[in-house]
């Protein structure tokens, strides 16, 4: 009974710590649907395995009320948990979505470490909200020579593509006409991807009921692609559907 009680106390304390961290992860760093898009589940499973399963289990194994090395044994267990927690939280924080970039006809999520901030010209593009990423649009240069230079660098010099070039970024909200000139309707998604037709209907019903108020654009996720559902009048991200978003007439 003493072993079980010690293990349960350990589990309860670990749950409070890990639960508090998960609230930050799921509601600030990776609000829905960015966690699934970013593919951060593996590291979270490590945190759960070490801090909520392995730690209390080891406490149950080593705990003996009169054991001389009990304090040392428990300290080692806590240090292992803390090391796993620091590693996991650091990795999740570094990979959190910092910028959501629309380029040509698709979205890409970038972490802070993926971006050269010295190339960002507008201060508004650096102002990350407390929840979710900064939404920006990567605009092709209008000058033909500059455009050709960009294409040459990407194709032949293996340099970053348009979406990873902050010098070409402009505010997302001010350029929604560019975004919606290339998006597709949810009717098209239902037609070409019948397996998600029911899910599309649920999303539409939960956001006013008019399917014409919404549109979608592809997003390249870490473990698969998504159809990103957008509100037409605001450009706001409404939802994400884990489905092949490249319809039959798409060049991709």
Last residue of a domain, one of 58, 75, 94: 94
pTM of this structure = 0.83
Q: Scan for tokens 């108020």, then name that residue.
A: 213
Confidence band for 235, pLDDT divided at 50, 70 and 90: very high
**8 Å CB contact between 249 and 191:** no
* Degrees to nearest 5, angle at CA 10 with 92 and 65: 145
First CA to last CA distance, the chain? 61
Last residue of a domain, one of 122, 150, 182: 182
Same domain flag for 16 and 88? yes
Task: Determine the structural domain holding residue 250 and report its residue range.
Answer: 183-252
Same domain flag for 77 and 144? no
Same domain flag for 89 and 146? no
**8 Å CB contact between 97 and 111:** yes
* Degrees to nearest 5, angle at CA 219 with 192 and 233: 85
Task: Inform me whether the pLDDT recorded for 189 exceeds 90.
Answer: yes
Same domain flag for 87 and 102? no
Q: How far apart are CA 161 and CA 150, in angstroms?
A: 8
Same domain flag for 8 and 90? yes
Task: Give the total number of structural domains in the chain.
Answer: 3
Q: How far apart are CA 2 and CA 7, in angstroms?
A: 9
Same domain flag for 6 and 90? yes
**8 Å CB contact between 203 and 239:** yes
For 47-83, what is each residue's pLDDT tens digit? 888 888 888 999 989 888 888 899 999 999 999 999 9
Across 83-236, where does the E strand assignment appear? 99-103, 106-110, 134-138, 169-171, 184-185, 214-220, 225-231
Lowest mean pLDDT among 123-127, 192-196, 204-208, 234-238: 123-127
Same domain flag for 133 and 123? yes
For 207-233, what is each residue's pLDDT tens digit? 988 999 999 999 988 878 999 999 999
Same domain flag for 160 and 115? yes
| pLDDT at residue 251 in the model | 43
Q: Encode 27-86 in three state secondary structure.
A: HHHCCCCHHHHHCCHHHHHHHHHHHHHHHHHHHHHHCCCCCCCHHHHHHHHHHHHHHHHH
Same domain flag for 11 and 32? yes
Task: Inform me whether the pLDDT recorded for 247 exceeds 90.
Answer: no
Q: Which residues contact 142 (CB under 8 A, 6 or more apart)?
A: none
Same domain flag for 89 and 102? no
Same domain flag for 54 and 8? yes
Last residue of a domain, one of 61, 94, 127: 94
Q: How far apart are CA 103 and CA 185, in angstroms?
A: 18
Same domain flag for 9 and 82? yes
For 125-181, what is each residue's pLDDT tens digit? 888 888 989 999 999 988 899 989 999 999 988 888 999 999 999 999 999 999 999
């Amino acid at each position: 009974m003493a072993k079980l009680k010690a293990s349960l106390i350990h589990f309860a304390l670990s749950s409070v710590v890990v639960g508090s961290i998960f609230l930050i992860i799921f509601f600030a760093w990776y609000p829905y649907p960015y966690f699934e898009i970013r593919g951060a589940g593996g590291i979270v499973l490590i945190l759960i395995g070490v801090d909520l399963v392995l730690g209390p289990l080891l406490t149950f194994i080593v705990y003996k009320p009169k054991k001389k090395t009990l304090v040392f044994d428990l300290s080692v267990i806590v240090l292992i948990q803390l090391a796993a927690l620091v590693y996991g939280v650091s990795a999740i924080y570094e990979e959190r979505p910092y910028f959501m970039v629309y380029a040509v006809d698709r979205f890409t999520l970038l972490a802070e470490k993926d971006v050269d901030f010295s190339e960002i010209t507008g201060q508004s593009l650096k102002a990350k909200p407390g929840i979710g990423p900064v939404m920006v649009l990567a605009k092709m240069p209008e000058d033909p020579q500059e455009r050709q230079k960009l294409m040459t660098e990407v194709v032949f010099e293996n340099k970053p593509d348009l979406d990873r070039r902050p010098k070409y970024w402009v505010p997302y909200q001010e350029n929604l006409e560019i975004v919606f000139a290339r998006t597709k309707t949810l009717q098209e998604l239902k037609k070409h991807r019948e397996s998600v037709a029911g899910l599309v209907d649920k999303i539409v019903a939960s956001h006013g009921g008019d399917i014409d108020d919404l549109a979608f654009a592809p997003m390249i996720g870490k473990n698969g692609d998504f159809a990103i559902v957008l509100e037409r009048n605001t450009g706001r991200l409404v939802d994400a559907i884990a489905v092949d978003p490249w319809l039959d007439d798409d060049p991709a």
